Structure formats: structure tokens, C-alpha cells
Structure 1
């Protein structure tokens, strides 16, 4: 058995004000991250989908606003999730969450399976303009977007 206290996690030290919860718990089958977002901050850099992972957010404090869409070109729907509420996104569902309130936001994001290797980011390719989404990948340790149509890569 493993225990941790989320108040001991320093989300401000991680990327996007995120701290891993699954690592200190030695979790092998699910991913969990703790977020501490100030007003105006977002969970990630933009509208994206995990084609191989479902993702659930539990708001611990504050209020999170999510945009969601079934595809990268579909019109987005907005939903607000308050403290004590959860929202789940199916694999392949595009989503982006942020803190649009005037108060701090603390939340847990849980994904299963643990490793998501097929992440798509909504947006056209700067090289060919053809694709409506780009693949996220780590290339030599650098976050990169890859076009599935022309193969162009751009570092984030």
C-alpha cells in the first residue's frame, strides 16, 4: 500500500502546473496528475484527444471550464465543472480545460491505460495545410507535432 498527501505535491514545479500522483503511488495501470491552476491557466496547450486513453477530471477546489468536440473540426461545446464534480472524456474525444474563474483551481486528472501514445492536437499543418489534426510525439526528448499527411515536424 502507498499513501501520499496531495497538499505535499508541488504542482508548480511540473510542466503546466502539474505533478504526477501515479509515480509516487507506483501506479502501473493508470495515470493520475494533480493540477494547481491560477486564473487564466490551462491544463494543456490546446484542444487535443487521446485516441488510446479515456480521461477523467475531478475538481477538488474551484471551477474548471472545458471545451469538448467529437472531432478537431466540429463545433466545441463548453461545460463547467465545480468542486466535487467529475467529467469524463472518451478516447478520441477532443477536449481542453482551463481556469476561467477568479479563484485558484485544484484538480486531479486520471487516465487509463496509463500510457497514452496516440495524442492528437487540433489544428492544420503549417507546411501543407491539409491535416485537421497533428500527432503529438517526443522526438529526441523534444515535444513535437507531426503532420500525418506530409510528415512535417515542428517543435512545440
Structure 2
């Protein structure tokens, strides 16, 4: 058995305003991150989908606004999730959450399976313009994207 206090994870001090709860608990089968977002901040850099992972968010404090779409070029909708509420995104469903309120947002993001290796980011390739999405990739140890059509890579 492992116990932690999310206040001790240091999410507020990290560049992405998040901390891995799964790592702190020694979890092997699911991913869980704790987010501490100020007004105007987002969970991620853009609209994206995990093709190999479902993801659920639990709002602990404040409210989160999520943009969601069934595909990279489909029209998107928004949903606001308040304190004590959850929202689930199926594998392949595009989403991005952010804090559009004037108050702090604290939330847990949970995914299963733990490792997500097939992540798509909505948007055309700047080099060739032929793709509707870019694939998430690690480039020289840093997060980036790669075009599935022309192979262009760039850092995020």
C-alpha cells in the first residue's frame, strides 16, 4: 500500500503544472496526473487524441472547459466540468482542457492503459500540408511532432 498527499507532489512548480500521481504511488497499470492550473492555462498544448488510451478527468477544485471533437478536422464542441464532476474521453476522441475561469483549477487526469504511445495532435503539417494531424514523437529526448506523410519533425 502507498499513500501520498497531492499537495506534496509539486505540480505548481513544474513547467507543465502537473505531477505524476501514478509514479508517486508506484502504479504500473494506469496513468494518473495531478494538475494545478491558473486561469488561462491548459492541460496540454493543443487538441489531441490518444488512440491507445481512454482518459478521464476529475475536477477537484474550480472548473475545466474541454474542447472535444470526433476527429482532427471535425467541428468541435465544448463542455465545462465543475468541482466534483468527471468527464471521460474514449480512445481516438480529440480533446483539450483548459482553465477559462478566474479561479485556480485542480484536477486529476487518469488514463488506462498506463503507456500511451499513439498520440495524435490535430492540425495540418506546416511543411507539406497533406496531413490532418501530426503524431506525437520524442525528438532528441524532447516532446515534438512528426508528420505521417512527409516525416517532418519539430519540437513542441
TM over 0.5: yes
> Gaps (5+ residues) in structure 1?
none
- Cα distance in 2 for partners of 1:55, 1:14 equals 21
Matches within 5 A, 1:3-152: 3-152=3-152
8 Å Cα contact 1:46-1:96 kept in structure 2: yes
**Which segments of 5 or more consecutive residues in structure 2 lack a partner in the other structure?**
none
Residue 12 of structure 2 aligns to a residue whose secondary structure is helix
- Paired with 1:142 and 1:24, the residues of 2 have a C-alpha distance of 22
* Kept in 2: contact 1:13–1:19 (CA 8 A): no
Question: Which TM-score applies when normalising by structure 1?
Answer: 0.98
Question: Which TM-score applies when normalising by structure 2?
Answer: 0.98
Q: Deviations over 1:73-107 (max 9, x none)?
A: 00001000000000000000000000000000000
Aligned length: 156
| Deviation of 1:44 (Å) | 0.3
Structure 1 counterpart SS, 2:117? coil
Q: Give, in angstroms, the shift of residue 143 of structure 1.
A: 1.2
CA distance in 2, matches of 1:17, 1:154: 23
Query: For the residues of structure 2 that align with 1:15 and 1:131, how far apart are their CA atoms?
Result: 29
Paired residue secondary structure (1:126): coil
Post-superposition shift, 1:10? Answer: 1.2
Q: Deviations over 1:46-90 (max 9, x none)?
A: 000000000000000000000000001000010000000000000
- The alpha-carbon deviation at position 139 of structure 1 amounts to 2.0
Using the TM superposition, give the Cα deviation of residue 150 of structure 1 relative to its aligned residue in structure 2, in angstroms: 0.8
* Runs of at least 4 residues off by over 4 Å: none
Deviates more, 1:94-103 or 1:1-10: 1-10
Secondary structure of the structure 2 residue equivalent to 1:12? helix
- 1:54–1:91 Cα contact (<8 Å) kept: yes
